[in-house]
Amino acid sequence: MTALLDLGVHALRSAYRAGTLDVRRTVEEVLKRLQQAGDDKVWISRASDQALRAQADALDLRRGEIEKLPLYGVPFAVKDNIDVAGMVTTAACPGFAYEAKDSAEVVKRLVVAGAIVVGKTNLDQFATGLVGVRSPYGVPKNPFDAAYVPGGSSSGSAVAVSAGLASFSLGTDTAGSGRVPAGFNNIVGLKPTPGLFSSAGLVPACKSLDCISVFALSCADAAAVLEVAADAKTTPAIGATFRFGIPSTKDAEFFGDTAYAALYAQSIARLKSMGGTPVEIDYAPFRDAAQLLYSGPWVAERTAAVGDFMEKADDKAGVWPTTRQIVLGGRNYSAVDAFEGQYRLAELKARAFAQMDGLDMLVVPTAGTIYRLADLEREPVLYNSHLGHYTNFVNFFGLSALAVPAGFRPDGMPFGITLIARADAERTLLAFGAKWQRTVPLPLGKTTSALPPADADPVVAETRVPIAVVGAHMSGLPLNGQLIELGGRLENATKTAPVYRFFALPGGPPQRPGLMRVGDGGGAIELEVWSLPSDKVGAFLTKIPSPLGLGTVILANGTGVPGFLCEAHATLDARDITSLGGWRAYLKTLAV
């Protein structure tokens, strides 16, 4: 056993299965690393060495059940606003502390699956902050440079994974707390759709927005945790070609950090090399929604959570001054403000979703810059708000998100991007994130761990719908771009069964073909069969003008697929071009 033991979830499982490692040896290695780390301010409390060894020994006796325990012998950390039975929950406030009688639902699931709780991690007090410095228990040391913030509020959880002290960890995310620390620690941060993970046993920050999140070294490891922690839905995969939204040049904000700006541009170029097409969006509704979180009535939701405690707490309670200022500021908002805020949010959400239409995901910097601890002493509130520029809106809009590493500044500080998609797209994002990690090979956190083998990567089976096109949607013709923009893929070129009449409909430009099935006197018409992701078919239907529509088109081999057909009345004054055999042949007659 050496300090080079790979604590990755899949690495441990592989070693356990091979019989080259037992859980007791893993726990001894973790204890050794904890001792070497010293007072790194990562932990608020830890399971005792004796308790960890006892858990390890109990699991070693159950080695025969390893296939039934997907997280067998995997050590993990828990943010200290999430309950673990028998341990104290503080939310980083000594005066608030209580011993949890029961574990949070997510923790229960992980432990039943064989995972081992190492301890409770430090955080921005009451999960209020994105910096990781608002704690009377100290500032967890950023493994890349202790002069820089670790990111928050899930600071200790992120550092524990990045520094190789735990295989994965639980954080929380209200405004970006499960993503910003991932970006600053060169690890993966999965922020699930609000409500996907049970919030039972979580000390609330903003109860309507809070999510329990996952930190891991790889997307494959995060996916393994997801499978245990929640009953995730299956969503369509991101295909070989995809469209991703990015802020326009005028909307991109890096707060003077030219290195982060360059790394973001480099990330966009890499996504293009992976088959992506960047699409500039109007970032205003996303930005404006982000600003609501700390300058609107949602501050009052934090007051509803812990305001009474703070008002009664004396100086010995350890309430952080900036946290008190923020939380008690919610008393300044009225019920009218709350309703007006909801109306404003609904308007912004509608505008934002219109910008996302036709896109597979948004790709934004996880944060526009990173600050030194000394910077936060000068501007504790303003600089914290800067870190939420690309994160605050996500839970407001009910979206899923995944932060992934994307490079390093010249001074060695990590940079990350965040992939943002509609609700319930966690598996889709993790599958794409795994491809990203193989395309952009980087260290995993600050460890010597390696990516799991490719066969461990999460995979989402893509559901596609075939569509037969006979006119301007065929390859190289004017409307083909409508299919490509929605992720269309050419499957094959063929002909219809000889049961159709084909017409050039009056009107235009552009001219339109009309395919109509007949009882006799029909011909075989050239066509192309394209396919679309199932979730994009509806968007395509909105682009089809009357009198055209989708029906079943019979192909030459006798199979039927959805395709363009024409209403009979529209062919009365149309030119019959059946004898030409297809739209391309008809277009040639016009060019003569």
| Residues with active-site annotation | 79, 153, 177
| CA atoms of 104 and 163, how far apart (whole Å) | 25
Which residues have C-beta within 8 Å of that of residue 288, sequence separation ≥ 6? Answer: 348
For residues 240-270, one letter each, b for 16 or more C-beta atoms within 10 angstroms of the residue's C-beta and e for the rest, the string is eebbbbbbeeeebbbeebebbbebbeebeeb
Q: Using CA of residue 43, residue 48, residue 52, residue 58, what is the dihedral sign?
A: negative
Token pair for 260 = 């982060």
Residue 480, both tokens: 């083909």
Give the integer Cα–Cα distance in Å for 414 and 259: 11
Give me 197's structure tokens.
């993970």
* Structure token digits, residue 407: 């490079």
Q: Which of 291, 206, 215 is nearest to 253 (CA)?
A: 291
Copy the structure tokens of residue 580: 């030409």
Q: Give CA–CA dist 249/557, Å, rounded.
A: 50
The two structure tokens encoding residue 585:
């042949």
**Parallel/antiparallel/unpaired status of strands 526-533 and 489-495:** antiparallel
Strands 548-554 and 560-566: antiparallel
Q: Which two tokens stand for residue 64?
A: 């025969």
How far is residue 374's CA from residue 1's CA, in Å, rounded to a whole number?
39
Residue 456 has what DSSP assignment?
G
- Residue 335's CB: how many other CB atoms inside 10 A? 9
**Residues 6+ away with beta carbon under 8 Å from 81:** 89, 91, 92, 123, 126, 127, 172, 202, 203, 205
